[in-house]
């Protein structure tokens, strides 16, 4: 039987190792600005994500997965090259092309300006060599006719004039709910095109990457996706008095509730959560359309599926908004891998986005380039208790080092944060200056230094 598979594989251009692999295809799904804890499979009991939850029930859910870049551009570059920072020799798409696979991008994989490149339907900073084919998903974004809100300015209108959009300072707080079925939205178009590609390329090995832009601002969705989320019922992150007093100056992002103005409008903070959830649910439905088509075409048993996000997001945690720092709600990402021949499960083992490249290479029987810096996670796919690495690094203005029980941040001016993640998962009590915690602080400093040294050697 194996010999027959090898012959067939050679006929379609695959190697012997690939022929013996159960994984013929890769479907890579990535959301934008998605907090892990907004998904049902990560414990959220309000936001409706039935399709991603269904995928999680059939795959390995990595509960401690972390991004390396904390903004869209550096994170996506990092995961697509499996480099902690910057470019490598070959993108994931080029790698799969070299091993006989059709490689396609639909929507945002490398960085695109949202909303700028979405409105224009342009490629952003895409790497064209990565793809055999690439397809953009245009949308009108904040200019979609409907109920517009700019929540930090407390503006509500149906007028199209004067809306915050590309490069404008308050675009991050925009939502639009409108009458429609969603087919005009970029994520719906991304799902439709991905389904089309699955149908056209189902008979030959493929790597198809679908990039969904929601819940990235502006949070645009039809009315029906807002209906489950009455803003009055939304719970916002708890705030402690003098919460920022023990956070170093360089650890406080620019967009705080006071700085961006939303502190004046507590109800609008609830509206932000409602709009974010609506966008997540809309995105989830598009993921479901793609996965249903994969099943309909009989491709599930030969396809490895990844679902993840480029980074997390602040929605008022510690009064922080947006992204770009190294606190938990930004660095932690959802990561689900469903692969033929591997049982579903959940893992507490530390994982990083840079690990996806070598993991998908192993699953498909292909050898990644020597300069790939990530770690193969297939041992964890076989046994969720297996361990791949001690901790995860994230980069922003500072550096974050996350281990199983501790989170450490170090900034250019030498200031630090240290959190006991078992006792203080919301990161309210910075222990870096407390003598009683000098031992774990020393261990975390050493761990970060050793990992950085190891990464530089592998570079």
Contact 338, 299 (CB under 8 A): no
pLDDT score of 14: 52
Q: Rounded to whole angstroms, how far apart are CA atoms 215 and 32?
A: 6
> Rounded to the nearest 10 degrees, what angle do helices 50-57 and 266-296 cross at?
50
pLDDT band at 458 (very low <50, low <70, confident <90, very high): confident
- Mean pLDDT over all residues of the chain? 95
Kindly write down the DSSP assignment for every residue of 227-269, as one continuous string: TT--GGGPPPPP--TTGGGGS-GGGS-S-BHHHHSGGG-HHHH
pLDDT score of 2: 39
Is the confidence at residue 102, as pLDDT, over 50?
Answer: yes
Q: pTM for this structure? A: 0.95
Adjacent-strand bridge partners of 401: 393, 408
pLDDT score of 22: 79
> Rounded to the nearest 10 degrees, what angle do helices 186-200 and 266-296 cross at?
10
Is the confidence at residue 1, as pLDDT, over 80?
Answer: no
pLDDT score of 459: 72
User: What does the pLDDT look like over 285-308, one tens digit per residue?
Assistant: 999 999 999 999 999 999 999 999
- Establish how many alpha carbons lie within 13 A of residue 347's alpha carbon, considering only the half-sphere containing its beta carbon: 28
pLDDT score of 275: 98
pLDDT score of 70: 98
Q: Return the structure tokens found at 368.
A: 């990644």
Superfamily of domain 24-458: Alkaline Phosphatase, subunit A (3.40.720.10)
DSSP 8-state assignment for residue 382: H
For the chain, domain boundaries: 24-458
Is the confidence at residue 66, as pLDDT, over 60?
Answer: yes
User: What does the pLDDT look like over 362-410, one tens digit per residue?
Assistant: 999 999 999 999 999 999 999 999 999 999 999 999 999 999 999 999 9
User: What does the pLDDT look like over 2-53, one tens digit per residue?
Assistant: 344 444 444 444 554 554 457 999 999 999 999 999 999 999 999 999 999 9
Q: Return the structure tokens found at 281.
A: 């649910």
Is the confidence at residue 224, as pLDDT, over 60?
Answer: yes
């Amino acid at each position: 039987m194996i010999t027959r598979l090898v012959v067939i594989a050679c006929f379609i251009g695959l190697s012997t190792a690939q022929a013996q692999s159960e994984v013929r295809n890769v479907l890579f799904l990535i959301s934008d600005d998605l907090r892990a804890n907004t998904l049902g499979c990560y414990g959220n009991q309000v936001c409706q994500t039935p399709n991603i939850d269904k995928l999680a029930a059939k795959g390995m859910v990595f509960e401690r997965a972390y991004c390396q870049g904390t903004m869209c551009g550096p994170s996506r570059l990092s995961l697509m090259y499996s480099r902690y920072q910057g470019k490598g020799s070959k993108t994931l798409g080029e790698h799969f092309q070299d091993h006989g696979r059709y490689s396609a991008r639909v929507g945002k994989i490398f960085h695109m300006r949202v909303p700028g490149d979405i409105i224009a339907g342009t490629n952003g900073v895409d790497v064209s060599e990565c793809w055999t084919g690439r397809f953009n998903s245009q949308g009108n974004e904040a200019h979609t006719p409907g109920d517009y809100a700019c929540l930090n300015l407390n503006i509500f209108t149906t007028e199209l004039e004067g809306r915050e959009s590309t490069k404008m300072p308050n675009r991050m707080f925009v939502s639009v709910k409108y009458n429609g079925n969603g087919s005009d939205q970029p994520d719906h178009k991304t799902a439709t095109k991905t389904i089309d590609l699955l149908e056209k390329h189902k008979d030959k090995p493929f790597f198809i990457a679908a990039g969904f832009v929601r819940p990235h601002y502006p949070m645009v969705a039809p009315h029906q996706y807002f209906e489950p989320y009455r803003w009055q019922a939304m719970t916002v992150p708890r705030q402690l008095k003098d919460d920022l007093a023990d956070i170093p100056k360089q650890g406080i992002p620019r967009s705080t509730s006071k700085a961006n103005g939303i502190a004046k409008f507590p109800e609008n903070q609830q509206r932000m959560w409602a709009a974010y959830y609506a966008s997540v649910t809309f995105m989830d439905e598009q993921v479901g359309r793609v996965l249903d088509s994969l099943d309909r075409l009989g491709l599930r048993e030969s396809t490895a599926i990844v679902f993840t996000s480029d980074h997390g997001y602040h929605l008022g945690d510690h009064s922080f908004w947006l992204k770009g720092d190294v606190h938990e709600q930004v660095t932690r990402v959802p990561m689900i891998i469903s692969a033929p021949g591997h049982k579903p499960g959940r893992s507490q083992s530390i994982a990083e986005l840079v690990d996806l490249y070598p993991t998908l290479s192993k699953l498909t029987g292909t050898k990644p380039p020597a300069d790939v810096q990530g770690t193969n996670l297939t041992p964890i796919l076989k046994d969720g208790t297996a361990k791949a690495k001690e901790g995860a690094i994230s980069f922003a203005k500072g550096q974050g080092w996350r281990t199983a029980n501790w989170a450490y941040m170090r900034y250019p001016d030498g200031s630090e944060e240290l959190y006991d993640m078992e006792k203080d998962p919301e990161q309210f009590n910075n222990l870096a200056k407390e003598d009683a915690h000098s031992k774990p602080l020393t261990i975390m400093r050493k761990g970060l230094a050793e990992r950085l040294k190891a990464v530089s050697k592998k570079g």
